[in-house]
């Protein structure tokens, strides 16, 4: 699996005007059709999973470039434009309650594309675990509230999902692509894009956290009473919190999402013991296992068994293409210009009105770096 990137966006409130959304449906649908007919469905999924192209597309169809609403509105427009499945691609899920409908919508898409029950089950699993990884295996303080699962008739897929940090008023976007799947839980990123680098992120998908993954599996296979004794011993002897543990030299407190959970769901611990998970992926996907459980198991793994954890934020680029002043990361000019050039070509071939085409091209022209 290649996870192509994430982007941090300011949180903007309000709704997209209906007239604008209807135009976005028409324009994004025309561009999607042009890409699929000219380059194929695989290329469309590849582009959707690329945060550079995705951001450029949102701008081209008329939404704010630097806004969290671009994600939800653009994916909503694409979902409506592709709903019939005539081009071999369908989008499932959405924002809030709509994200919870992704599973049943995958079932309906499977019927349209005549998938086997096994293929549908695989797609449903991919949808669930992509959300679980970004909300639980990687904990940076952003709670997922938006999940859209793009799938095409060959069974390949892409995910665009977004998390919310209310305190900082930012949203972080995640892109996934199904090609070259090796592991859902080990180094799934090829790029992460953010305006800020967090001081500490619990990143259990890092290769630097593999030892902790293994220890977490071992602990989860122990009887709950033994795990309870380990937790109590830590509290009695050290009174250590997760915040104290990961960065004692820091003078200012870290994000509250890194604090050791006040309580552990021992019913979940019992369930883990009974199921005897074989690997970290099975631990993660056990019903009831959430961020608190994973944080607690990670703390025990380090303090009791000395396993290593990678606390570095896996961010690679600033915002969508980089910061103009090189902070925190330089602009990737080649990727940026490639996305715009590709999108301009798609616009030229899209079956849309001349006025819509010219307006979209003008918006793209304003984006090109000088």
Span 151-187, pLDDT tens digits = 999 999 999 988 888 888 777 888 899 997 689 999 8
> What tokens were used for 3?
């996870």
Q: Are 148 and 49 in contact (CB under 8 A)?
A: no
At residue 215, the pLDDT reads 97
Q: Are 343 and 53 in contact (CB under 8 A)?
A: yes
Q: How many CA atoms lie within 13 A of 4 on its CB side?
A: 24
Alpha helix (H) residue ranges in 147-279: 210-220, 224-237, 242-246, 266-275
Span 78-93, pLDDT tens digits = 999 999 999 999 999 9
Closest to 77 in 3D by CA, of 59, 96, 58: 58
At residue 133, the pLDDT reads 94
Give the separation between CA 269 and CA 286, rounded to whole angstroms: 10
Which residues of the chain are under the pLDDT cut of 50?
Answer: 1, 65, 242-243, 245-257, 318-329, 369-370
Q: DSSP E strands: which ranges in the chain? A: 2-10, 89-95, 138-139, 143-152, 157-165, 170-177, 202-203
At residue 322, the pLDDT reads 47
Closest to 2 in 3D by CA, of 192, 250, 154, 239: 192
Name 144's bridge partners.
163
At residue 245, the pLDDT reads 47
Closest to 132 in 3D by CA, of 181, 166, 155, 99: 99
* Integer Rg of the chain from CA: 22
Give the separation between CA 45 and CA 25, rounded to whole angstroms: 18
Give the separation between CA 167 and CA 190, rounded to whole angstroms: 28
Q: Exposed (0-12), middle (13-18) or buried (19+): which is 160, by Cβ within 10 Å? A: buried
Give the separation between CA 356 and CA 174, rounded to whole angstroms: 29
Q: Are 161 and 147 in contact (CB under 8 A)?
A: yes
> What tokens were used for 262?
């006040």
At residue 321, the pLDDT reads 47
At residue 254, the pLDDT reads 44
């Amino acid at each position: 699996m290649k996870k192509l990137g994430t982007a941090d966006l300011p949180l903007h409130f309000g709704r997209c005007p209906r007239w604008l959304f209807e135009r976005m449906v028409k324009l994004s649908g025309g561009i999607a059709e042009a890409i699929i007919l000219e380059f194929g469905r695989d290329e469309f999924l590849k582009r959707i999973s690329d945060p550079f192209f995705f951001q450029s597309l949102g701008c081209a169809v008329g939404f704010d470039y630097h806004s969290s609403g671009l994600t939800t509105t653009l994916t909503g427009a694409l979902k409506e434009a592709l709903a019939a499945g005539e081009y071999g691609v369908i989008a499932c899920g959405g924002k809030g309650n709509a994200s919870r409908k992704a599973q049943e919508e995958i079932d309906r898409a499977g019927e349209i594309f005549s998938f086997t029950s096994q293929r549908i089950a695989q797609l449903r699993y991919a949808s669930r675990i992509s959300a679980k990884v970004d909300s639980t295996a990687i904990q940076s303080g952003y709670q997922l509230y938006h999940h859209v699962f793009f799938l095409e008739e060959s069974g390949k897929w892409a995910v665009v999902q977004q998390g919310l940090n209310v305190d900082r008023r930012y949203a972080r976007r995640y892109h996934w692509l199904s090609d070259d799947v090796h592991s859902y839980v080990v180094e799934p990123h090829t790029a992460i894009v953010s305006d800020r680098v967090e001081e500490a992120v619990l990143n259990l998908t890092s290769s630097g956290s593999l030892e902790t993954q293994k220890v977490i599996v071992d602990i989860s296979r122990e009887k709950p009473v033994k795990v309870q004794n380990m937790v109590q011993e830590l509290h009695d002897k050290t009174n250590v919190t997760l915040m104290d543990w990961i960065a004692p030299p820091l003078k200012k407190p870290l994000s509250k999402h890194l604090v050791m959970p006040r309580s552990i769901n021992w019913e979940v611990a019992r369930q883990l013991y009974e199921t005897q998970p074989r690997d970290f992926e099975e631990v993660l996907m056990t019903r009831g296992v959430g961020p608190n459980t994973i944080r607690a198991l990670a703390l025990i793994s380090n303090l009791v068994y000395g396993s290593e954890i990678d606390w570095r934020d896996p961010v690679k680029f600033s915002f969508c293409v980089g910061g103009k002043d090189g902070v925190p990361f330089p602009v990737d000019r080649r990727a940026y210009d490639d996305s715009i050039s590709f999108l301009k070509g798609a616009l030229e071939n899209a079956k849309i009105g001349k006025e819509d085409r010219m307006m979209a091209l003008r918006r793209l022209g304003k984006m090109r770096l000088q």
